[in-house]
Every structure is written in structure tokens, then in C-alpha cells.
Amino acid sequence: MIVDTHVHLVMPGFVKGKFLMGNARMASNIYNRVHKTNITPSQYVDLMKERVDPDCSKLIETMDAAGIDKSVIFGVDWAYAVTGEPRVTNREQNRIHADMAKKWEGRLISLAALDPRRPDIIEQATEAIEEWGMRGFKLHPSAGFYPNDPVCFPLYEKCADWGVPIVFHSGGIEFNWEYGQPIYIASAAEHFPEVKMVMSHAGLESCDQARLAATVLANVYVDISIRQLDYRVNRQKFYSWLREFIDWAGPWKMLFASDTPMPTFWVPQNEWVQAIKDPDTDVPFSREELDIIMGKAAQAVFGIED
């Protein structure tokens, strides 16, 4: 089984225009670095508009072409502290994610994106899990909170009760880099050892912190989304990094992920799947290790049945 554990839906009204353009400035720089082009942020926004997918049919088509069996989908709660609510509110976006998981039952697994500082965090979290059937949460510390801040603890306590995992943005690449550093997620994991916590992007620039946390803390995992840039820039170094992480923490701590849609502009989804499933490198990986990374570890974290 192949599971992409980090996928964002592209739908009208999910983000405000000013925020989209700010993100495009960063994303277009990476796009130009990879493709040796000179597109503007506005042109990058036009590329994103081509990915709009109101019913997830494009996503399912891409999954089928790449051989992906299931995708874990979620949004980003920038609204509470950064942008204000967009045209489609964050709560409504969570409901849409839950609805898409029901529409494509067996293919999509939904997590609720929430800022733990929301005054009604427990009410919204309970609605997402108990009424909408969502399978966990996505927290984005870059919105301006530290993962080990006690303001987050009531949500973590409920996650322990429900037995559901949390995916955190970790590392930099966008706003407020300091909040999502792996050390703060590791601290939260120490306080709540019964809650599985995933550091998305494997900590990015702070990957050594993420690797150590995944090695010593039983409830800490990483996903390899956005590492497509490492793969594209220096393939040999990327595979050496992957081998070193497995040697330290073991394959059960590493989840295949893409962060669709942005990194698919750097490495198409089918190529990214093949890069991990059947790596073309002299760096040695066992078939068992690769099968665990591609899906078995995700099954354990998200409770996915065969």
C-alpha cells in the first residue's frame, strides 16, 4: 500500500488573495530555481489556479496515475491569527475535507486544521472527530504559537482520549520560522507520550533535531514532504540523508508524503513515488524498509486498514 500523508486541496475561497500572493513570492523563487525560469509570483498564482479541484477528481486521477492508494488531506488554519477568515471559513474548510473523505471513501483520509488558540477549539475539534469522522489534526505553529505552549494542551488531552494523531508543520520555508522548530514539537511529545505526533517536512532546515526526536521519542514521526527539493537539487545527497535517517530512527518513523500541490511543480507526483518506492541509487535500501516508508508506517500512525 502507498499512502501520501500530506496533501492539500486546492479550492476557490480557501485563502485570501493577499496571503496567496505572499506565498507565491516564496514558491515562485523555488520554481525558478528548479526549472531555471523567471516566472513572476502572479504567473505562479495562475499555475495554481490550474490546479483548482472542487470535487477532488483531479487528485484521485493523479493518485491513480502515480499508484497512490490513499491520501491524507488537510488544510491550514491561518485564519484565526494571521489573515482573518477567508470567504470559505476554516470550519467550513474542515467540513469540506471531511465530506471529500466520505465522497472518496477508501481513498482519502481527512484531518482537521485548527489553531489551538481558538476560543472554541474543543467544540470544533469534537465536531470534527465525533460528528464528521475526521481522523486527527493538522497544526501549523507558523501561525504564531509554540507547540509546547500550554494553550495547546487541552487539544492534546482530547487527542489522547480519541487516540488520534497530530501532524505539525515543522521547520521554516514560510512565515514565523521559529515557532515550528522540531525542539518545541519534541517538548510537546514528551508531555503527551500517548499522542502520535508527526513533524512534517522532517524539520526542513532543522532536520537533525527532527531525526533525534524521532529516534528517542516513541511517539514522534516525520514525513518527507517538501524534500522533493533536496531530491531535485542533489539526488545522491538526498538518498544519503534518507539512509542516515533510517539508520538512526528506523523506517517506521518515516512517512511518505508530498505536500501536494506546491512540490509537484518541482517533482511530478509519479516521479516522487518512484524515487522512494524504487530508488535509482547506489545507496542501499531494503525492500522492507521502502515498503514501510511508502505505506506501512502511515497505516500504523493513522490507523489505516489494508
Cβ atoms of 75 and 8 closer than 8 Å: yes
Q: Which of 25-29, 61-65, 107-111, 119-123 has the lowest mean pLDDT?
A: 25-29
The reply to whether CATH 3.40.50.1390 applies to domain 3-302 is no
The predicted structure's pLDDT at residue 15:
87
- The lowest-confidence range among 1-15, 164-178, 249-263 is 164-178
Query: Taking the mean position of all CA atoms in its chain, how far away is CA 259?
Result: 5
The pLDDT tens digits of the residues spanning 100-143 come to 999 999 999 999 999 999 999 999 999 999 999 999 999 999 99
Per-residue confidence (pLDDT) for residue 214, from 0 to 100: 98
Mean pLDDT score across all residues of the chain? 95
pLDDT at 9: 97
- Distance between CA atoms of residues 205 and 173, nearest Å: 9
Confidence band, pLDDT 50/70/90 cuts, at residue 91: very high
Asked whether residue 159 carries a pLDDT value surpassing 90, the answer given is yes
Q: Measured between alpha carbons, how far is 264 from 27 in angstroms, rounded to an integer?
A: 12
| In the predicted structure, residue 175 carries a pLDDT above the cut 70 | no
Q: What pLDDT shows up at residue 174? A: 63
User: Of 282, 179, 273, nearest to 224 (Cα)?
Assistant: 273
pLDDT-derived band at 18 (thresholds 50, 70, 90) equals confident
Residue 3: what pLDDT? Answer: 98
Supply the pLDDT for residue 25.
86
H-type helices in the chain, by residue range? 17-35, 41-49, 57-66, 90-103, 121-126, 153-162, 182-191, 207-216, 228-233, 235-249, 269-277, 287-291, 297-302
Residue 288 has pLDDT above 80, yes or no: yes
Q: What is the pLDDT of residues 183-211, one digit of tens each?
A: 999 999 999 999 999 999 999 999 999 99
